[in-house]
Amino acid sequence: MAMQTYLNLPVEDLNRSVEFFTALGFSFDQNFTDQNATCMVISGDAYVMLLVKPFFKSFTPKDVADATKVTEVITALSADSREQVDELVEKARQAGSPRIGDVVEEGPMYSRSFEDPDGHIWEVVHMPVD
């Protein structure tokens, strides 16, 4: 069964997050954007809802994690090549990522990671398929 995926992430400053991810090449669906949230398009079936923290909090009775102090999720994105991995991570560096992870090579898998301005960890992975 194929389904669309929507990941919801809390952010401090929505405009800062939009600027950061725009610099990485992502686009946003304006039909699902207002002062509280925006819908970042990963693909036709994968989206990230960036929600300002008070709005995010309205969806859960739990405390909202501070991603600069704890890891609540690692979001992994696939890449078509090692070069694409490096390119996206370099864009994150240039856009002001507070942390860039080391290269990880495990067999044919090649990955790197970066943090967004709110501390969420994003991993970019290339796994060649024979």
Name the helix (H) or strand (E) containing 9: strand 5-11
Q: What is the predicted pLDDT for the residue at 34?
A: 97
Query: What's the confidence (pLDDT) of residue 2?
Result: 84
Domains: count for the chain: 1
Longest dimension (CA), the chain: 46
pTM of the model: 0.93
CA distance 40 to 8: 10
Between the two ends of the chain, the Cα-to-Cα distance in Å is 24
pLDDT in tens, 84-104: 999 999 999 999 999 999 999
Residues of the chain with pLDDT under 50: none
Domain limits for position 116: 5-126
What's the one-letter identity of residue 39?
Answer: C
Residue 58 sits in a domain whose CATH number is 3.10.180.10
At 129 the pLDDT is 82
